[in-house]
Amino acid sequence: MTTTLLVFLALAAVSLFAAWRVVTDPQIMHAGLWMGLSFVGVAGIFLLLTAEFLAGVQILIYVGAITTIILFGIMLSDIGEVKEEEPPLLSLPGRAKRPGTPVAVLAAGAFVLALILLYRDVAWTSLPAAGTLSTAPGAGTPAGGLWEGFSVKLIGQALFGEYALPAEAASVLLLAALLGALVLAAREEG
Amino acid sequence: MALALAAPALAGGNLYTRAQQLFLDLGLPPWIFAILVAAVKVALILVFILLNVLFLIWLERKLGGHLQNRLGPVYTGPFGLLQTVADALKVLVKEDVIPAAADRWAFIVAPFIAFVPALMIWLVVPFGPGLQARDLSIGVLYVAALSGLIIPSLLTAGWSSGSKWSLLGAFRAGAQLISYEVPLLLAQLAVVVWAGSLSLNDIVRAQQQGTWFILLQPVGFIVYLIAAIAELNRTPFDLPEAESELVAGFNTEYSGFRFAIFFLTEYANLLTSSAIAATLFLGGWSGPWLPPFVWFLLKTYVFVFIAMWVRFTLPRLRVDQLMNFAWKLLLPVALLNVVVTGAIVAL
């Protein structure tokens, strides 16, 4: 068992436990905080894979922005605790279930399937030179230098070069969503 | 200070290699040495931050006093220098009150969600050439990501207190910090575009070869200054803790040790924002005659002084003024600055 594997297991355990608490905690504000912790764990796994840029973005957007917005929304909406008579979305077999459970299971299953297909499809590029990556089994602490800074450059070149059009389309979509939210909010105010 | 000055020898000089050799000669595995070096670095950074925060709190009172034609602390030690020590002792021996209406678990966790990232940021701050715990290639992004974590912390603190003052303060803090984070990041982005790197060390070196970015990015600097003061919840942007209407805002119910953590975080963040500003706009540790570490401290304290000067000079804004200013003036100016910078760099 290498150090990398140990760290990975710890991070995975934290992320999974937090994710489990997100769907089981009756106090919805706590669920939001657990979600933030889960995102932090995933960012740690990204770091372990030397995808620093992705880890930074994960913290900045998912923890700093999305979790914040969700907490903000919960505080504004005064939901508080999920009521006792309402069974949790995920419960042990044999106990009362919500009508939405099959849909949730199907959606999650489809997502996992899509991820597996994606994983099999992508041609994973090998490292620039053997031994420069810290995740290689047996490697000690990363020496820095060659591999560091590579991912930012690669992602930038891919986003603004080969994949410029899809990236722009995604940003236009986000802009449309932003304007849509604005229109809806303005209409409600009357 | 002596500890921090000894660090260059630890970071890259002879002492480092000699200590490493000693460890290998003793037959100890190299990872023990790596862990020890990391621990020493973290300890040095912690000592640096705590000493500076002690000094900052005293400076704020003394400077504020003199700016407003008062004397500030005078009784504890020479020039009242021991005032912070006395305050810290007072706060630490106070009873640790958790209100009955509070959500206990979240109430306890909230201060640390802000405190830990505030310390972690200093991992990438370059104190001098080679005097940096770790030169991350995503330096600026790392700083932005970690400083954003203060928002969930304040929201959690305000919500879990079970008090209307705390809740209102948290709402204001959330809205304000989200609004001013956008121009803050855009101002940093313009510097990154100019320097062509996210690494703070590279940004300092780029300024060493050219000129300081405050001359090339005057608009970006002003946007950064305003947005940073707003992010720190300092007057004129201290609506989240406006004492005349909200008692003390999100930390109304906090006392003793937990309040001290919030207080410490606030001043650590003031130091961080100043250090990042000095690094991005004033050439960081570079400068003639004096040692780099002294230059870094001097430049950092230029920003600290500006922030304190503004605080004791200007009155508090209204909520609508605050929001209008962020979204209708600061954000467009910051965006335009990025576009113009990009155009100049591309040409």
Q: How far is residue B45's CA from residue B121's CA, in Å, rounded to a whole number?
A: 10
Alpha carbon B2 to its chain's center = 22
Residue B147 forms part of a structural domain: yes
Residue B267 forms part of a structural domain: yes
User: What pLDDT shows up at residue B155?
Assistant: 87
Q: How far is residue B267's CA from residue B261's CA, in Å, rounded to a whole number?
A: 10
B182: which residues sit within 8 A by CB, 6+ positions away? B326, B331, B334
User: What pLDDT shows up at residue A129?
Assistant: 45
Q: Domain total for chain B?
A: 1
Q: How far is residue B332's CA from residue B20's CA, in Å, rounded to a whole number?
A: 52
Residue B297: domain span: 94-346
Give residue-wise pLDDT tens across range B186-222: 999 999 888 888 888 888 888 888 788 888 888 889 9
For chain B, 347 residues long, give each residue's pLDDT as a single digit of tens.
Answer: 344 444 444 444 567 777 777 777 777 777 777 788 888 888 888 898 888 988 888 888 888 888 888 887 878 778 878 888 888 888 888 888 778 777 888 888 888 888 888 888 888 888 878 777 777 778 888 898 898 888 888 888 888 887 888 888 888 888 888 889 889 999 999 998 888 888 888 888 888 887 888 888 888 899 999 999 988 888 787 777 766 777 777 777 777 788 888 888 889 999 999 999 998 888 888 878 888 888 888 889 999 999 888 888 888 888 888 888 888 899 999 999 999 998 988 88
User: What pLDDT shows up at residue A79?
Assistant: 65
Residue B336 forms part of a structural domain: yes
CA proximity to B114, closest of A16, A64, A119, A180: A64
Residue B32 forms part of a structural domain: no
HEC string of B50-102 equals HHHHHHHHHHHHHHHHHHCCCCCCCCCCHHHCCHHHHHHHHHHCCCCCCCCCC
**Which residues in chain B have their CB less than 8 angstroms from residue A64's CB?**
145, 148-149, 151-152
User: What pLDDT shows up at residue A131?
Assistant: 41
Residue B81 forms part of a structural domain: no
**Which residues in chain A have their CB less than 8 angstroms from residue B142's CB?**
52, 56
CA proximity to B52, closest of B281, B279, B275, B289: B275
Q: How far is residue B136's CA from residue A142's CA, in Å, rounded to a whole number?
A: 12
Residue B67 forms part of a structural domain: no
Q: How far is residue A144's CA from residue B201's CA, in Å, rounded to a whole number?
A: 14
Q: What does residue B128 show for φ and ψ, rounded to 5 degrees?
A: 180, 175
Residue B72 forms part of a structural domain: no
**Which residues in chain B have their CB less than 8 angstroms from residue A65's CB?**
148, 178
| Encoded tokens for A14 | 């934290």
Extended strands (E) in chain B: none
Q: Are B135 and B124 in contact (CB under 8 A)?
A: yes
Q: Are B278 and B300 in contact (CB under 8 A)?
A: yes
Measured between CB atoms, which of A52, A76, A141 is closest to B138? A52
Nearest-Cα distance to chain B for A125, in Å, is 21
| Average pLDDT per 10 consecutive residues for chain A, totaling 190 residues | 82 92 83 91 86 87 88 76 57 60 87 90 58 40 46 80 90 93 76
Residue B7 forms part of a structural domain: no
Q: How far is residue B32's CA from residue B18's CA, in Å, rounded to a whole number?
A: 15
Contact B142 A53 (CB under 8 A): no
